[in-house]
A and B are shown apart, each in its own frame.
Chain A
Amino acid sequence: EPEVTQTPSHQVTQMGQEVILRCVPISNHLYFYWYRQILGQKVEFLVSFYNNEISEKSEIFDDQFSVERPDGSNFTLKIRSTKLEDSAMYFCASSSGTPGDETQYFGPGTRLLVL
C-alpha cells in the first residue's frame, strides 16, 4: 500500500541553524501538508500546498518557514534559524484531491530537537 515517507527520522541541530525536512508524498496525490506536534500537545497545522503554491498557512508558519516541491516526488519544509521552541515532531501528509475523499495520509514524522 502506498505511504508517505519522511527523512530523516530524527534530527538534532543547534539553535540558529537551518534544517530541511524531507517528505515523499503518495505518488498520485495533489495536496501536501506539514503539521507539527510539540511533546504532549495537540497536532498543529502549519501549511498546505497545492499546484506548486501555498494554499493555506497557519499563524505559526511565519517567515522562518518555507516549503518547496523541488521535483515531482519530494516536498520539503525548511526552517531557517531554528529556535528552541521549534523542537517537535514534524509530520508530512498528503491527500488525493478526489472529491469525496479528503483523507489525509500522514508520514511517520521527523523528530527535531533544537539545542
Chain B
Amino acid sequence: KQEVTQIPAALSVPEGENLVLNCSFTDSAIYNLQWFRQDPGKGLTSLLLIQSSQREQTSGRLNASLDKSSGRSTLYIAASQPGDSATYLCAVPREGGSEKLVFGKGTKLTVNP
C-alpha cells in the first residue's frame, strides 16, 4: 500500500531564505510525482509534475528532484517570499498504472517578512 510522508510538518523561515521540503513514498513503482500548493481553505494548485524518468524539474524559483529508487523527492524553493506561505503537498499514483493520487499530509510553510 502506497504511503506518503512529508517532513517537516511545519517550517518557518525569514524572507529570502532558500529551503527544502521533503517527501518520501513507500512504493517506488511510480511513474510520476506531483507537487501542489494549498492556501488555507482553498483548492490545490499544481506546481510541478516530475516523471519517473526525470531526476529534476524546474519552474521559476521551484526545483523538484526525484530519487525513485530511494523513494524520495525534494522541493527546493529559492529566495523565499511571504507569498510562498502555504501548505505544500506531494502526491504519487497509488501504483504503477493507477490514476489515483496518494497524498502526503503536507508541509505548512510560513515565510516571515
Q: Which A residues are closer than 8 A to B by beta carbons? A: 6, 31, 33, 35, 41-45, 48, 50, 55-56, 58, 91, 93, 95, 100-109, 111
Contacts and interface: CB of A to CB of B under 8 A. Distances in A.
A31 B43 contact: no
Interface of B: 31-32, 34, 36, 41-46, 49, 51, 89, 91, 93-94, 98-106
Contacts of B103: 42-44
A103 B44 contact: no
Given A45-B102, A103-B34, A91 B43 contact: yes
Contacts, number: 57
B49 to A, nearest CB: 5
Q: DSSP majority for the B interface? A: strand
A104 B46 CA distance: 7
Contacts of B36: 106
Q: DSSP majority for the A interface? A: strand
Contact of A100 (B41, B46, B51, B101): B51
A35 B43 CA distance: 11
Nearest to B97: A56
15 contacts: A42-B106, A43-B89, A45-B101, A48-B100, A55-B99, A56-B100, A91-B44, A93-B44, A102-B31, A102-B34, A104-B34, A106-B46, A108-B42, A109-B43, A111-B41
A56 B98 contact: yes
Nearest to B31: A102
B4 to A, nearest CB: 8
B48 to A, nearest CB: 9
B105 A56 contact: no
* Most chain B C-beta atoms within 10 Å of own C-beta, residue among A56, A106, A108: A106
A111 B106 CA distance: 19
Contact of B43 (A44, A50, A100, A106): A106
Contacts of B98: 56
Nearest to A100: B51
A33 B42 contact: no
A20 to B, nearest CB: 19
